[in-house]
Amino acid sequence: MPVVACNAGLSFEMVADRTALLAIDLQRDFLDPEGFVAASGADLSAMRAIVPNAAALIAAARASGVTVIHTREGYAPDLGDMHALKRERRVAGRDGPLGRFLIRGEPGHAHIVECLPLPGEAIIDKPGFGSFYRTDLEALLQERGIERLVLFGVTTQCCVSSTLREAVDRGFRCLTVEDACAATTPALHAAAIEAIYGESNLFGWVSDTARVLQALKA
């Protein structure tokens, strides 16, 4: 069982049949120049830079037989699954080049071509930031005997961190792949990663793509 990271005397081991890679929100609305994030005026360069690492992790997990689960943030066309605060802030639903932003079924809601799910791989459609919020992710993990999660995707401070905190509260061992996550600014990414390290690694382990790939290929 390859050790991917170690802190405070505790190690994160890649146990193939007990581990899942959670690819978080690698969608066109977040990573495409015509998507939701780009329309807000944000610079996509830091987020686009992690795509090769994310794709490499997915490919290595598939080759080694480790479960891959994909998530997508998106809402019903009538916004019926969006709470009032998000509706007031117009988080989703506006028209854009890839259809209505963050609406399920629109082109922008789809995964980027580099990280498309394969047939049979689980896709968690979530009406919120965290991947456990109003989804069947926990039941899916329990059904498959998964107790360890390797998290990566976008954005570090929002959907990745929200999912990480939800997972830790449910007792999952979590490893965040630092150079396969990104935010719209390096400062937000760095702060989110630092929070994982804080208080004796309160939110689990942090590693890099190279070490995770090595463990997957071992």
CATH of 3-25+43-76+110-217 given 2.60.40.10, 3.40.50.850, 3.40.190.10, 3.40.50.1820: 3.40.50.850
Pick 211 or 2 by higher pLDDT. 211
- In order of 22, 82, 127, 149, 194, the CA distances from 133 in angstroms are 15, 12, 7, 17, 24
pLDDT of residue 200: 82
Whether 159 is a known active-site residue: answer yes
Q: Of residues 25, 29, 125, 179, which has the active-site annotation?
A: 25
Q: Of residues 115, 126, 174, 179, which has the active-site annotation?
A: 126
> Mean pLDDT, to the nearest integer, of 107-127?
98
Q: Of residues 115, 159, 174, 181, which has the active-site annotation?
A: 159
Query: What pairing do the DSSP bridges indicate for beta strands 19-24 and 148-154?
Result: parallel
Contacts of 39 (CB under 8 A, 6+ apart): 96, 101
pLDDT digits (tens, 9 = 90+) for 166-200: 999 999 999 999 999 999 999 999 999 999 988 88
pLDDT of residue 166: 98
Whether 126 is a known active-site residue: answer yes
pLDDT of residue 3: 66
pLDDT bracket for residue 207 (50, 70, 90): very high
Q: Backbone dihedral region of 48: left (phi > 0), alpha (psi from -120 to 50 degrees) or beta?
A: alpha
Whether 86 is a known active-site residue: answer no
**Domain range annotation of the chain:** 3-25+43-76+110-217
